[in-house]
Structure 1
Amino acid sequence: MRESEEQRVTLSFYKYLNIQDPEAFRDQLYIDLSNLGVLGRIYVAHEGVNAQISVPEDRFEAFEGYMNMSAQLNGTRLNIAVDDDGKSFFKLKIQVKKKIVADGLNDATFDVTNKGTHLSAEEFNNLSGDPNTIIVDMRNHYESEVGHFKNAICPDVDTFREALPVVEEMLEDKKDKNIIMYCTGGIRCEKASAYYKHKGFKNVFQLDGGIIEYARQVKNQGLENKFVGKNFVFDERLGERISEEVISVCHQCGNPCDDHTNCKNDGCHLLFIQCSECAEKHQGCCSPECKDIINLPEEHQKEIRKGLNKGRQVFKKGRSEKLLFKSYAKS
């Protein structure tokens, strides 16, 4: 797939719905999407579906037909990537989860359907200029570091679950303000907006379709783009360009850069920002220690990382003492 010239469309979608048997739903979805050549990562839970996928361009119409014919998925918005090389996913993985987004909330304690008012890109731009408006980034620190809306509050948090109480405390004395929340594709704000309304916030809004849909509408309608930098995405691309500004720096040399990578040491895989010069100098590693390890014989490397399962260390990005430049510019 990495070498393939097949044209593919990267997209994401989510839908809150009642799934009685997530395992059976998962199994059938896997069969159906495999037959369409779909690759990606999908979470299924009793509360719905959350998907990031890529579809062969020549089968995209068939995929849309499948979605439209599905009794449960019909009407789901497809958020098409705005900066796509088709190399976003290399296999299809569908997992059954307790929730489609880990939020730590007890849904039985509030009305999850009482969501905030959805805003189009034009409506967002208009309301964001109101002095009585506060814009809140509901994403994690490594996401907002490379891109965010102008004048947005960007909480220094590692997870969405952590962001919910942090934002609530930050805005405790501002419950009468216009609160506009945004995230990548909108799914986090669906739950967060209902939670904050439950907590007494009077005027809660959310960017419909998130940053991805905002960028599409701005381009198609010739609107002012109030997002600066890159939109971090959770696939092999690790980011899509929304504006030409680079607001972050290489974590190793401090020069302007907003390209995320994973440390090439399989026993580390730290997610961090690295420029091309540092990538060459450090062989794609986050530290001299990791560089030394990847130059050892493979069997020796396996012994060193035996029993470790690092995955993609998104939560440690920017937190590691190995990285010298961790601050980022705000707009």
Structure 2
Amino acid sequence: MKPENIQVVAALYKFVKLPDFADKRDPLLSYCQEQGVKGTILLAQEGINGTIAGSRQAIDSVLWFLRTDPRLADLEYKESHAETPPFERMKVRLKPEIVTLGLPEIDPNEQVGTYVSPQEWNDLISDPEVTVIDTRNDYEVNIGTFQGAENPQTGSFREFPDYVLRHLDPTKHKKVALFCTGGIRCEKASSFMLAQGFAEVYHLKGGILKYLEEVPAEKSLWEGECFVFDERVAVSHGLEKGSSERCFSCGYAISEEDKASDKYEEGISCAYCFDSLTEDKRVRQQKKWQHYQTQVANSKNRDVSNL
């Protein structure tokens, strides 16, 4: 693919007080659509969060537009690339929170843990006195995480506070290191843990994506791939597209190793949904898979006929 056709994928967020967030929706949506940018941006009183994709010029234009608001002048973002558009449309949504913890009293604008750069992260998590916690969901952790990290086995970020209250103790876990995909969940999680009395709470600045971008593979303590919420499914070191795929049936990210399971059948099931697949569900799934394959074949035929 020609360089000018490569999609720039920008993951951005900032906790900042935006009492007028609802007024920003329509102008932002219109501007993004004018630039041909697609993706999702969330706006809330506590800040902004989103991932968008488009041409180099389009992404730069949207970032400029956002930064014209003085409160977002120092908005940071993480950038990767995709060969095809990873999103189908542009959405700007108004939310109570830009990342849903379900505890409105937790405000990262008031207090957060200590930021740790990717270059300093290895030393921190190699300290035996540090408890390293992956704040992502179980289906994300499944395809990759940091060496020695604890998996809270949550189905959503809302479950993280319960995990902390049940399994962690401020008097025993004196140093805690948190990480997530892009930095937003672990930043909010750090605010929650400080409110619970944990004294030393650290979180990876820029998240896993920044770490994979800046830390060479030969020095990395990351194992596997990093799940992303778009058509790429996962990325690896250097933010290259990973080998993981989505199960057509349940949407769970599956690795090459998962596909070797006896429970995996392309388009029908994987190890994570096989046990819940009744015979009726199997028949319906087979029909959906056949319909999907027909659509793909017809699309390819149309492309060939237009050459």
TM-score class normalised by the smaller sequence: 0.7 to 0.9
Aligned twin of 1:314: none
Q: Deviation per CA, 1:284-323: give whole Å up to 9, x if none.
A: 232633443327889xxxxxxxxxxxxxxxxxxxxxxxxx
Deviation at 1:28, TM superposition (A): 0.9
Deviates more, 1:202-211 or 1:171-180: 171-180
Which structure's residues are more often helix, by fraction? 2
The match for 1:120 is: 117
Does the residue aligned with 1:34 lie in a helix, a strand or coil?
A: helix
2:244 equivalent in structure 1: 259
Task: Identify unmatched segments of 5+ residues in structure 2.
Answer: 270-276, 293-307
| Counterpart mapping for 1:236-255 below 5 A | 236-242=231-237
Q: TM-score, normalised by structure 1?
A: 0.73
- Where does the alignment leave 5 or more consecutive residues of structure 1 unmatched? 245-256, 299-331
Q: Mean alpha-carbon deviation: is it higher for 131-140 or for 27-36?
A: 27-36
User: Is residue 287 of structure 2 the alignment partner of residue 293 of structure 1?
Assistant: yes
Inter-partner Cα distance in structure 2 for 1:274 and 1:130: 30
1:87 matched to which residue of 2? 85
Q: What is the letter of the counterpart of residue 116 of structure 2?
A: L
Moved more, 59-68 or 190-199: 59-68
Change (3 A) 1:34 1:129: same
* Aligned residue number for residue 252 of structure 2: 271
Partner of 1:229: 224
After superposition, the Cα gap between the structure-2 partners of 1:122 and 1:270, relative to the gap in structure 1 and judged at 3 Å, is closer
Which of residues 115, 138, 142 in structure 2 aligns to 1:141?
Answer: 138
Asked whether the 8 Å contact 1:175–1:201 carries over to 2, the reply is: no
How many pairs are equivalent?
272
Give how far 1:270 is off: 4.0
Q: Matched residues, percent identical?
A: 29
What does residue 48 of structure 1 align with?
Answer: 47
- Judge conservation of contact 2:227–2:253 (CA < 8 Å) in 1: no
The answer to whether the Cα contact below 8 Å between 2:268 and 2:289 also exists between their aligned partners in 1 is no
Pick one of 151, 156, 160 that aligns with 2:153.
Answer: 156
Matches of residues 17-96 of structure 1 in structure 2 within 5 Å?
17-81=16-80, 84-96=82-94
Greater than 6 Å deviation, 4+ residue runs: 295-298
In structure 1, give the amino acid aligned to 2:246.
Answer: T
Q: Which amino acid counterpart does residue 209 of structure 1 have in structure 2?
A: G
Secondary structure, counterpart of 1:41 in structure 2: strand
Partner of 1:136, secondary structure, is strand
User: In structure 2, do the counterparts of structure 1 residues 154 and 274 end up closer, same or farther at CA, with 3 Å as the change threshold?
Assistant: closer
How far has the Cα of 1:84 moved from its partner? 3.2
**Which sits farther off after the overlay, 161-170 or 98-107?**
161-170
- 1:92 maps to a residue whose letter is M
User: Could you tell me whether the CA contact under 8 Å between 1:15 and 1:76 is conserved in 2?
Assistant: yes
Shift of 1:231: 0.6
Partner of 1:194: 191
Q: Which amino acid letter does the alignment assign opposite residue 210 of structure 1?
A: G
Offset of residue 174 of structure 1? 5.1
Q: Distance in 2 between matches of 1:290 and 1:277?
A: 23
Does the Cα contact within 8 Å between 1:122 and 1:223 map onto a contact in 2? no
Is 1:179 matched up with 2:176? yes
Which residue, 95, 104, 107 being the options, matches 2:105? Answer: 107
Structure 1 34/105 Cα, relative in aligned 2: closer, same or farther at 3 Å?
Answer: same
Q: In the alignment, is the contact (CA less than 8 A) between 2:108 and 2:188 conserved in 1?
A: no
- CA–CA separation in structure 1 for the residues paired with 2:109 and 2:47: 13
Question: Residue 128 of structure 2 aligns with which residue?
Answer: 131
Q: Which amino acid aligns with 1:104?
A: G
Q: TM-score, normalised by structure 2?
A: 0.79
| Aligned residue type for 2:70 | A
Alignment-derived partner of residue 315 in structure 1: none
